[in-house]
Structure 1
Amino acid sequence: MSATTQTAADTGSASPAAPPARKTRTRNWKMEAPFHLMIFPALVCVLIFSYGPMAGIGIAFQKFVPTSGLFGSKWIGFDNFSYVYSLPDTTRVIYNTVFIAVMKMIAGMAAPIATALLLNEIARPLFKRVVQTVIYMPHFLSWVILSGIIVDVLSPNYGIFNDFLGWLGIKPTFFLGDERWFPFVLVGTDVWKEFGFGTIVYLAALTGINPALYEAAVIDGAGRWKQTLYVTLPGIAPIVVLMGTLSLGNILNAGFDQVFNLYSPTVYSTGDILDTYVYRLGLVNLQFGVATAVGLFKSVVSFVLISVSYLLAYRLANYRIF
């Protein structure tokens, strides 16, 4: 055997042994312990406020009496569900919820995409940052504050929007009291509040497009419109598909805070949604079992839709949570 071979053999035999798996796991646990301690308070809050109230699901199957409690109320099975489905308002409320939610999903995706494309064309960084800051601001205001602003703006007597329509020769309209206009007011004001914040995702996607693609398009004679059509939009298409599929889980969430602060009995026929319906049944009419049954129905449907949306996001955009 040559000296070189012998040296290699000796070196290989003298290599240190791998550390035991138990020691490796212990070392990893010690390194990760601070992170587990950091997440522990949030985990406790989730268990208390998200999973703890799930014990009240049993109210949906009871003739619940607050003085008797959860264990003392009479068990009536699915009678609350049958009663809810027999109500004449239930079908209308479900239709209103789906219609308003779908309209918000469509407009809530189109507006941020268009805004992100326009902001991407601004050459002056300072002006671009100012515009971004201005359009982000409504997102951080609650609907309690914004509802007061919207009521003043859309007032038929002194609202600036109706004053503008008057300059055009159009009669003032009570948008918040007209059942035909109210759903579109909900969609428009929701888009106004959220579209600025929604542009963050699409602006981030635009920064990930390879600049060489734009250079090649310019060499081929493509103008700004052609570059947008054949380079920018295909570049952000995976993010658009991902956001669209993930939004399917919110198809029964039409926005309780917004509707509750803007609606009135005159627009119940087109503006009443499942969340406000549950509020009136449970807290106003004190039909706790019926309200819980409606809420449980919504939760089950939302769970199915969220599961389907994540499956579609994985299949179409290769998005995975874990």
Structure 2
Amino acid sequence: MNSDTILKRIWSSKVLYFMLLPCIAFFVLFHVWPILGMKLAFYDYRIIGDNEFVGFKYFKELFSTPLFTTVLQNTLIISAMKLFLIFPIPIVFALLLNEFRNGKFRKAVQVISYLPHFLSWVVIAGIWFEFMSPSTGAINEFLQWLGFPAKDFLTDKNSIRWVLLASEAWRSIGWDSIIFLAAIMGISPSLYEAAYLDGANRWQIVTRIVLPHLYIPMVTIFILNVGFIMNAGLDQVLNFTNASINSHIDIIDTYVYRVGLVNGQYSFATAANLFKSLIGVVLILSTHFISKKLTSKGAW
């Protein structure tokens, strides 16, 4: 396809491209442009005067810091829990929504499940604090009704990661199911008709028709989620953390925030964030090529 044909196609869809401009501007300003600032990891930053090139000095300090090992471990554990335990839930939820025959009821369930996605983590944390309060929370009242003692899950080191997992699932299950539900809605009705004529039951239709159509979006989203495995949820952790459990949920992002913005160690914090970004790139590329090799499907 020559350049003239491409330009004609762009011009014919100029309204759509114009609508896309704000998204492109946002991506460039907040995701592409900051990459240039990553060079600060190799310089000794000075507010006044020129920055001095120090090579891998801050990376050596980073890997020799005992706290960073703990932070990295927390990040991988929390991210792995979210990746492998939450990932199947939106798929199952989309399959269940598709089974509803009452259209109004299905739309009501969709709207209700989407709402948490639009709430900030400040609001969500407030809701969960009330929900899991050791004195008046619904969870502890239910446990006491069953004969168990009340427990403060938000200050318990063994429970806090599961609280993060549950609150993330509650927030994302409805929104993440949109892609899978859209793929299900795109299945040709003729396939269902042919299956019914052959005597297939609902389980066979789901396993032989619906799930194969979800294969590509499942692979694509899984690969992208693997690429974000080093992002364990800065906003969520900041709102749920406290002195009692901070050692179990202190992640790379909170570490970078505390070291860089709070303590002013900009070069050291940039080195930590660059390390996190490089690991993410390696993971997403590795997952993509492994998937292409084994299944011929990848992220692109």
* TM-score relative to the length of structure 1: 0.81
The number of residues matched between the two structures is 298
Worse-matched range after superposition: 306-315 or 193-202? 306-315
Q: Displacement, 1:99?
A: 1.5
Distance 1:296 1:172 in 2: 43
Distance 1:211 1:41 in 2: 37
Worse-matched range after superposition: 86-95 or 191-200? 86-95
Which deviations, in whole Å up to 9, do the C-alpha atoms of 1:12-32 show, x marking residues without a partner? Answer: xxxxxxxxx998788678657
Partner of 1:195: 173
Aligned counterpart in structure 2 of residue 240 of structure 1, from 203, 218, 227: 218
Superposition RMSD in Å: 2.8
Q: Amino acid of the residue matched to residue 155 of structure 1?
A: S
Which deviations, in whole Å up to 9, do the C-alpha atoms of 1:22-65 show, x marking residues without a partner? Answer: 98788678657777666566555544443333333232123323
Distance 1:42 1:117, change over 3 A: closer
Partner of 1:251: 229
Q: Structure 1 unaligned runs (5+)?
A: 1-20
Distance 1:26 1:168 in 2: 68
Q: Displacement, 1:230?
A: 3.3
Q: Amino acid of the residue matched to residue 60 of structure 1?
A: A
Asked if 1:127 is matched to 2:105, the reply is yes
SS at match of 2:245: helix
Identical aligned pairs, as a percentage?
Answer: 38
Aligned counterpart in structure 2 of residue 157 of structure 1, from 135, 140, 147: 135
Say if 2:219 and 2:297, in contact at 8 Å, map to a contact too: no
Q: Amino acid of the residue matched to residue 264 of structure 1?
A: N
Q: Amino acid of the residue matched to residue 68 of structure 1?
A: I
Q: How does 1:130-149 map to 2 (within 5 A)?
A: 130-149=108-127
Partner of 1:9: none
Distance 1:34 1:116 in 2: 32
Partner of 2:42: 61
SS at match of 1:172: coil
Q: Displacement, 1:109?
A: 1.9
Asked if 1:52 is matched to 2:30, the reply is no
Say if 2:220 and 2:298, in contact at 8 Å, map to a contact too: yes
Partner of 1:264: 242
Q: Displacement, 1:185?
A: 0.9
Say if 1:242 and 1:313, in contact at 8 Å, map to a contact too: no
Q: Displacement, 1:238?
A: 2.9
Q: Displacement, 1:301?
A: 1.3
Q: How does 1:34-53 map to 2 (within 5 A)?
A: 43-53=24-34
SS at match of 2:136: coil
Distance 1:178 1:129, change over 3 A: same
Distance 1:145 1:63 in 2: 39
Distance 1:118 1:37, change over 3 A: closer
Say if 1:242 and 1:317, in contact at 8 Å, map to a contact too: no
Larger radius of gyration: 1
Q: Displacement, 1:75?
A: 2.9
Partner of 1:109: 87
Say if 2:223 and 2:299, in contact at 8 Å, map to a contact too: no
SS at match of 2:236: helix
Partner of 1:166: 144
Distance 1:196 1:318, change over 3 A: same
Q: Structure 2 unaligned runs (5+)?
A: none
Worse-matched range after superposition: 303-312 or 133-142? 303-312
Q: How does 1:6-21 map to 2 (within 5 A)?
A: none
Q: Amino acid of the residue matched to residue 54 of structure 1?
A: I
Distance 1:289 1:117, change over 3 A: same
Say if 2:153 and 2:160, in contact at 8 Å, map to a contact too: yes
Distance 1:120 1:47, change over 3 A: closer
Distance 1:243 1:310 in 2: 11
Distance 2:61 2:229 in 1: 24
